[in-house]
Structures are given as C-alpha cells and as structure tokens.
C-alpha cells in the first residue's frame, strides 16, 4: 500500500556497521575529546581551532566510510510506502545509500553554517574534509560545522514531531532512546501507528508498551522487518 507513511528514526547504531565510532561506546570519540571541549557553544568561543579540528577529523572519517547494508535496506522501504528518514546522525550515509528524504535532527557534517546570529538561514557545502577558520560565510562570520551542539536548540525538532505524528509505521534503529529531546519524539506517534525498534542491546522493559522489539543489529533486524512488511 503506497499510501502508507513509513518513518525511520535512526541513531548511532545505524552507522556503526560502517565503522563510524559511536560517542557513547567506550573507546568512542568522547573518550579522546571531552564533550565540553569540542561540542558546545562555549567550546567554540574558547577554542574554535580545536573544535574545527575535531569536526574535520570526524568529517574525514565519515567521507572515508561507506553506507552499510542497513542503509541500503532502508532505501528498500520505498517499495512499501512513502519513506522519510529522521536521523540523529550527522553523517550523510543515508543520502549516499539513495534515500531522498532525510531530516537531520542534529545537523549534517558535510555542510557548514555561519557562526554568527544568522546561523540557520543558509548552509554551505564543504569541499573536501577540511573547514578552516578563514572560511567565512556571506555575513563575514567564520563558518562552523552544521551540527547541533550540546546546549543548543534543535531547530528541526518541530518538523520531526510532525513527521512522526503522520507515521503509519515507525521504525527506530540504533538509538538507545535515552538522549533528550530526541528520545521524546517516540511519544509523538499516533496510537494507530505500528512501532518497531531494532537494537541488539535494548530489552522490552526499557521500551514503551506496544513497541515491537527486534533484538538484532541494524542490517539483520531490517532484513527481518522488510520481509514482514512486504507481506502485509
């Protein structure tokens, strides 16, 4: 039924199979770089050079990574209904796998924006993986990565709420649902929508009632779910 709205809500576990380090795992990037030194507005004011360097390294890692089997399986959901992906990830692997409608809750590292007051009015594609403090935007301020830092508003949140509210099927992949405000989005789903959660670590007890848990990694879980959905 092509009129069905399918929404995929993806987190770090989605890109883990592409070799992109997740923040919260031990040995993840936060172990080397404390959050407050690289991912807050205060860090940018204090040491923009360090912040820029950190995101340049991440951008390089992301550009060298390839979409994994799970990203490619997500694109197949287009055969089942209208597909929109909401991702907490700042990589562009969903797009590179072929998904057209991707809403980045926390920004997209392949883009830059003004570090001045008009940061959300225009996004600038970054050539290559390096962004320098000498790169400025139209209003003269240095360009910063288009990512939402801790302590900043999430401009796309109201849009994401609306998308989830319209979902007939909501598929949550690779997110612990422990980070707010993103974790609150699941509660925007309408009562009639079917909610599936694909995660190898979660338990049914940790999920809201009515959520179908598929305890598997992203690609194995999606393969399983795609089979089910194609039979509906």
Query: Residue 8 in contact with residue 86, Cβ under 8 Å?
Result: yes
Question: Of residues 106, 146, 201, 212, which has the active-site annotation?
Answer: 106
Separation of alpha carbons 112 and 181, rounded Å = 23
The pairing of beta strand 107-114 with beta strand 143-147: antiparallel
What does the H/E/C string look like for the chain?
CCCCEEEEEECHHHHHCCCCCCCCCCCCHHHHCCHHHHCCHHHHHHCHHHHHHHHHHHHHHHHHCCCCHHHHHHHHHHHCCEEEEEECCCCCHHHHHCCCCEEECCEEEEEEEECCCCCCCCCEECCCCCCCCCCECCCCCEEEEEECCCCCCCCCHHHHHHHHHCCCEEEEECCCCCCCCHHHHHHHCCCCCEEEEECCCCCHHHCCCCEEEECCCHHHHHHHHHHHHHHC
Our answer to whether residue 187 is catalytic in this structure is no
Catalytically annotated residues: 106
């Amino acid at each position: 039924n092509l009129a069905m709205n399918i929404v995929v809500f993806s987190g770090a576990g989605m890109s883990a199979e592409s070799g992109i380090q997740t923040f919260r795992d031990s040995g993840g990037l936060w172990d080397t770089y404390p959050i407050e030194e690289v991912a807050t507005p205060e860090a940018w004011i204090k040491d923009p050079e360090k912040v820029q360097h950190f995101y340049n390294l991440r951008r390089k890692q992301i550009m060298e990574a390839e979409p994994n089997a799970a990203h490619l399986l997500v694109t197949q959901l287009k055969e089942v209904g209208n597909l929109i992906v909401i991702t907490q990830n700042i990589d562009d692997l969903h797009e590179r796998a072929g998904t057209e409608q991707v809403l980045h809750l926390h920004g997209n590292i392949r883009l830059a924006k003004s570090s001045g007051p008009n940061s959300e009015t225009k996004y600038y594609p970054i050539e290559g993986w390096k962004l320098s403090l000498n790169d400025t935007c139209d209003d003269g301020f240095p360009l910063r990565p288009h990512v939402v830092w801790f302590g900043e508003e999430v401009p796309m949140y109201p849009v994401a709420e609306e998308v989830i509210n319209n979902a007939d099927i909501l598929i949550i992949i690779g997110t612990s649902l422990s980070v707010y405000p993103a974790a609150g989005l699941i509660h925007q789903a309408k009562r009639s929508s079917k909610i599936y959660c694909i995660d190898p670590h979660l338990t049914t007890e940790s999920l809201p009632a009515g959520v179908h848990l598929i305890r598997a990694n992203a690609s194995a879980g999606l393969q399983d779910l795609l089979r089910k959905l194609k039979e509906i």
